[in-house]
Amino acid sequence: MPENPKFFNWSLKNLLSTIPDPLEQSRVKILYTFLILSILKVLIVIPLAYQNNQLPQLKLALILILAYTFLTKLLLSHKRYAVLISHFMILMGLVIVIFVLFGLAKTINIMAMQFIFMMILSGFYLLNRGFGIFYSILAVIPVVVFMIVNGDLQNLHNSTEGLGSPAYEIMVFLNFVTIILGHYLFYQALIRNVKEKELLNEKLLIAVNEANIAAQSKSDFLSTMSHELRTPLNSVIGMAELLSDELTSPEQEENLKILNFSAASLHTLINDILDFNKLGSEKLYLESIGVNLHSLIHNICSGLRIQAKEKGLELVLEIDEELKQIPISTDPTRISQILFNLTGNAIKFTSSGNVKIQVKILDKDADKISVRFSIADTGIGINAEKMDSIFEPFTQASTSTTRNYGGTGLGLAIVKRLLTLFESSVHLESEEGKGSKFWFDISFKRNNQALENDSIGKEQIFDLNGLRVLVVEDNPVNSLLLKKIFQKWSNIPDFARDGYEALVKVSANNYDLILMDIHMPLLDGYETTMKIRELSDKEKSTVPIIALTASVSNNLSDKIREAGMNDYLSKPYNPKELYSKLREIAFKKNLNL
C-alpha cells in the first residue's frame, strides 16, 4: 500500500506511540479533538458569512482555518509542541470571549460561557493545576470587567448579532460537544491510569511475595546446610581434641595444629554465614545474662593471645580494673563475637608490632555503666576510600585480600549489625601502612547477682567415673566420638540409637544424666524427653537431660526448656564445655566428684 502523502495523514496513532504516559496521551487526544472541532466550527461559519456577505467575518474565518490547520499539523509532527499549542488555544478562547462580550454580541451569552468553560477545562486538563487556576481567573476577568462597565446584568439577552442564527446554534452545539468530549477523554485517562496502577500494585504484591518466599527458602537452605555441616564438624573438632593427648612426634603436633586451625576456621565461617543470615532476617535477639566483663574479656584475650603469638605479635590488654567489681547484664556470646572479629582482623592484617585492646569505663551510675572498647593494630591499615565499604557484606579493602589473607568479607558486616542490637556503632581510624583502630561504646545494665563461670577452659584431666550416663544419638560417628571422650574421663556411658531404644533403657536402668540428640528419626529428642518426663517413677522422670544439637534455631533454648530438658550444647562443641556441664550436674546430685 502506498503511504499517504504527509499532508493528508492526520492520524494521531504515530504521535501517541511516542508517548508512554497514558495521561499525557489523553492530553494530546483532547487537544487534537479541540483542534479538529475548531476547524469544523470555522468551516461552518465560512459559507454562512459568505452568504450574508459578511466580509470581515469571512476573512477572520479563513485566517482561523489556516491557523488551526497549521497547529494540528504542528501537533502531529512532535509531542513537544502540545503544551505550546494548549496555551495558544486557551488564549484564543480568551480572545473569543472578549470579542463576544465587547464586540460581537455585547452581552454574556451562552457562547461566551461555553468558551469560559473550555478555557478552565483546558487549563486544568491540558496543562496543570497552576495554569488551571491562572486561566480560570483570566477567563473570568472579561466577564467581571463587562459587568462593571455595563453596570448590571439586567440587559442580558441572547443575541445572534454578527452571524446568521443557524451558524450560532451549530457553534453552540459543537462547543457542547467539545466540552463533553474533553471531560470524557480525561475521565477515560483517569480510569485507565487507576486501573493500570491497580494492575501494577497486584504485580508488585506478587513480586514481593515471591521475593519473600525466595528469601525464606534461602534462609532455610542456609540453616539446613549449616546444620548438616555442623554435625560432621563436631566429630572433626572432638576427634582432634582427643588426638591431642596421643601425640608422639613434633610432626604429628604440627599436623594436628593445621587440622585444628582449619576446623576452627570452618566453624567460624559457618557461624558467620548463619549469623549473617539471621541478622538479615532480623531473627537475632540479644540474651541478657549476668556477666563479669573483666573476666569475660580476659577469657576472650587468652584465646586470641595464642593466635597473636603464633604470628610473633604482642597482644596488649588494657582494662579498667574497676570492672572486676561491677557485674553487668549482657549477651556474652555476642560481645565475644564482636571482639573476636575485630581482634581477629587486627591480628590477621598485622605482620609486626602489636595489637592493643583497651576497655575503659566512660561513665557509670547506679543502674548503668558505659564502656568504650577499642582495638588498635600496627598493621597494613585501610585506604580512606575503603573505610565505609568494608562494613558492607562480602566486601574487602582490596581484591588481593582474599588471596593474601583469606576471609569472606562478612566479619565487619556482622560486627556492624550486632552493634546496632547493642544500640551502638563502630568507628574506624586508620592510615595505610601504619595501622587501624576500631572502637565502639556500649552502655550495659548493672547486675549485682551476676555469676561467673570460669571453670570452662581450664586444662585438667577429668574423671567422671561413677556417673551413670545415657547417650541418645543416631549418628554412629558422633556416638563413637562421645565414647572416646567419656573414656578419657574414665566413664563408659550407655548408648541408645533412637528415642524408642532410649525409653526402653530408661525404664530398665536409673541414670544420673541423659545426653539427648534432637534430630532423630521416628521419635525425636523433644518427644523422647516428654515421654521420659511422663514416667511414673520419680527418679527416672526427673533425670537431668542435656540436649546435643546442631540446630541453630533462634528460640532453641525456649523449645528445649518447654520439652522438659535442663540444658543444651550446640554442636560443634568442645569436649571441655561438655565436661563443665557434666560437672555442674554431678555437683547438684552431690556425687562429690
Report the interface residues with ligand ADP, using CB under 6 A. 341, 345-346, 349, 377, 379-382, 390, 396-397, 401, 407-413, 436
Min. distance of Cβ 404 from ligand ADP in angstroms?
10
Q: Burial, 55: exposed, middle or buried (Cβ in 10 Å; 0-12, 13-18, 19+)?
A: exposed
Measured from the CB atom, is 198 or 392 closer to ligand ADP? 392
The three grid cell numbers given for residue 490, joined into one nine-digit string: 574414665
Distance CA 569, CA 579 (A): 11
Distance CA 440, CA 442 (A): 7
Contacts of 248 (CB under 8 A, 6+ apart): none
Min. distance of Cβ 277 from ligand ADP in angstroms?
16
Distance CA 336, CA 341 (A): 8
Min. distance of Cβ 266 from ligand ADP in angstroms?
14
Min. distance of Cβ 413 from ligand ADP in angstroms?
6
Min. distance of Cβ 313 from ligand ADP in angstroms?
12
Min. distance of Cβ 296 from ligand ADP in angstroms?
21
Measured from the CB atom, is 300 or 390 closer to ligand ADP? 390
Buried-state track 457-493, b at ≥16 Cβ within 10 A, e below 16: eeeeebebeebbbbbbbbbeebbebbeebbebbebeb
The three grid cell numbers given for residue 121, joined into one nine-digit string: 477545562
CA distances from 92 to 72, 124, 170 (A): 15, 16, 19
Measured from the CB atom, is 71 or 410 closer to ligand ADP? 410
Query: Which of these, 71, 100, 73, lies nearest to 84 by C-alpha position?
Result: 71
Min. distance of Cβ 338 from ligand ADP in angstroms?
11
Measured from the CB atom, is 345 or 479 closer to ligand ADP? 345
**Do 565 and 532 contact (CB within 8 A), yes or no?**
no
Measured from the CB atom, is 344 or 544 closer to ligand ADP? 344
**Do 330 and 373 contact (CB within 8 A), yes or no?**
no
Measured from the CB atom, is 38 or 396 closer to ligand ADP? 396
Measured from the CB atom, is 381 or 575 closer to ligand ADP? 381
**Do 177 and 43 contact (CB within 8 A), yes or no?**
no
Residue with cell 463533553: 180
CA distances from 461 to 248, 483, 488, 569, 579 (A): 19, 16, 8, 21, 10
Residue with cell 528469601: 215
Min. distance of Cβ 357 from ligand ADP in angstroms?
12
Query: Which of these, 335, 280, 343, lies nearest to 307 by C-alpha position?
Result: 343
Helix axes 499-508, 525-533, angle to 10 degrees: 30
Min. distance of Cβ 582 from ligand ADP in angstroms?
35
Measured from the CB atom, is 26 or 341 closer to ligand ADP? 341
CA 392-394-396 angle, 5° bins? 80
**Do 546 and 567 contact (CB within 8 A), yes or no?**
yes
Contacts of 333 (CB under 8 A, 6+ apart): 287
Min. distance of Cβ 333 from ligand ADP in angstroms?
18
Distance CA 228, CA 551 (A): 9
Min. distance of Cβ 298 from ligand ADP in angstroms?
22
**Do 570 and 547 contact (CB within 8 A), yes or no?**
no
Min. distance of Cβ 399 from ligand ADP in angstroms?
10
The three grid cell numbers given for residue 190, joined into one nine-digit string: 483517569
Which element (helix H / strand E) includes 216?
Answer: helix 165-243
Min. distance of Cβ 341 from ligand ADP in angstroms?
6
Measured from the CB atom, is 350 or 447 closer to ligand ADP? 350
- Cα-only R_g, the chain: 43
The three grid cell numbers given for residue 31, joined into one nine-digit string: 487537544
The three grid cell numbers given for residue 288, joined into one nine-digit string: 541478657
Measured from the CB atom, is 234 or 378 closer to ligand ADP? 378
Measured from the CB atom, is 415 or 518 closer to ligand ADP? 415
Measured from the CB atom, is 56 or 433 closer to ligand ADP? 433
Measured from the CB atom, is 284 or 513 closer to ligand ADP? 284
